[in-house]
Amino acid sequence: MYNVLEAENVCKSYLNKRALQGANLTIQQGKILGLLGPNGSGKTTFLKIAAGILHPSSGKLLIDGQEPGVYTKSIVSYLPDTEYLFKWMKIKDAVQYFKDFYTDFDEKKAFALLEFMKLDANSSVKSLSKGMKEKLKLTLVLSRKAKLYILDEPLGGVDPTAREKILDAIINNFSEDSSMIITTHLVNDIERIFDDVAFISDGEIVLQGNAEELRLNKNKSIDELYREVFQ
């Protein structure tokens, strides 16, 4: 089993702030890793570097053995926590957009997922609620057969029923050939799907390990552990 993602001493500094201070992290093939931390801990910064839209100040991050770039973007399926789809699009246009640009995009799977999410392909993107937009973004991202899925707050702003739906979609569409990294504040809702977890604080990974082993060793759920680490 090889490491899909390897990060070594990754630092990212802005003018007056250090967002990442030597983050070290690995993700093995076939694993779902939860990257957990409070607001401003560096989760999104790390994910953006892995997605290739932010460049580290120092350190090394490799995906499938390569630095983030055109190749890694073709094997990474990234769900950002922004509303990035064009306002003029209908849902079917968004599906076509992904089909046009990603060779690993499965159109049939996308329409099946849209049905599962109860989204109408003829709806306009701008008419969707926040939860529906989240479902659409997730549909597009999960319809790719990527080596690494990066999901930034996939449950953000979504009601509990929709959360379950989203989690089911993630579990049902995850393949053992792929890996996934998920950030969230809603640890309790999502911890059941994590194979590994990493706690990030002030730009550093402060604790990382197998989710089940951590639960057994500490005799606590990941949610309780999260509260203990970040209290």
Partner 1 sequence: MFHLIKYELRGKLLTILGICLSVIIGNLFLMTKVESWQIGVPVLSGFLGGAALVVIGISSLTLMSDYLYEDQGYLLFTLPQSGTSIMASRLIAAVIQISLVALVSAAMFGVLDQGRLFNAIFNQVELHELVYSILLHLWTIVSTLTFMYFCMVVGRIALKGKKIGKIGSFVIFVLLSIAKAGLAVGISSSFPQMVQIHSVTTMTMNVGSMIFDIVTFGILFMATSYLLEHKVDL
Residues that bind partner 1 (CB under 8 A): 14-15, 48, 51-55, 69-71, 73-74, 76, 78, 80, 82-86, 88, 97, 100-102
Q: Tell me 45's DSSP state.
A: H
User: Which distant-in-sequence residues (6+ apart) come within 8 Å of 112 by Cβ?
Assistant: none
Q: How far is the CB of 86 from partner 1 (least distance, A)?
A: 6
Residue 11 β-bridge partners: 21, 58
Closest to partner 1 by CB, 54 or 121:
54
Nearer to partner 1, 49 or 190 (CB): 49
Cα(119)–Cα(123) distance, integer angstroms: 8
State in angstroms the smallest separation of the CB of 82 from partner 1: 4
* Residue 24 or 74 having the CB closest to partner 1: 74
In this complex, which beta carbon is closest to partner 1, that of residue 2 or of residue 84?
Answer: 84
CB of 222 to partner 1, least distance (A): 28
Output the furthest CA–CA distance in the chain (Å, rounded): 51
- Minimum distance of partner 1 from residue 115's CB (angstroms): 24
CA dihedral 202, 207, 208, 213 (to 10 degrees): -150
Least gap, CB of 107 to partner 1 (angstroms): 15
**Nearest by Cα to 91 from 125, 142, 134, 114:** 125
* Closer residue to partner 1, CB minimum distance, 100 or 176: 100
- CA-based R_g, the chain, Å: 17
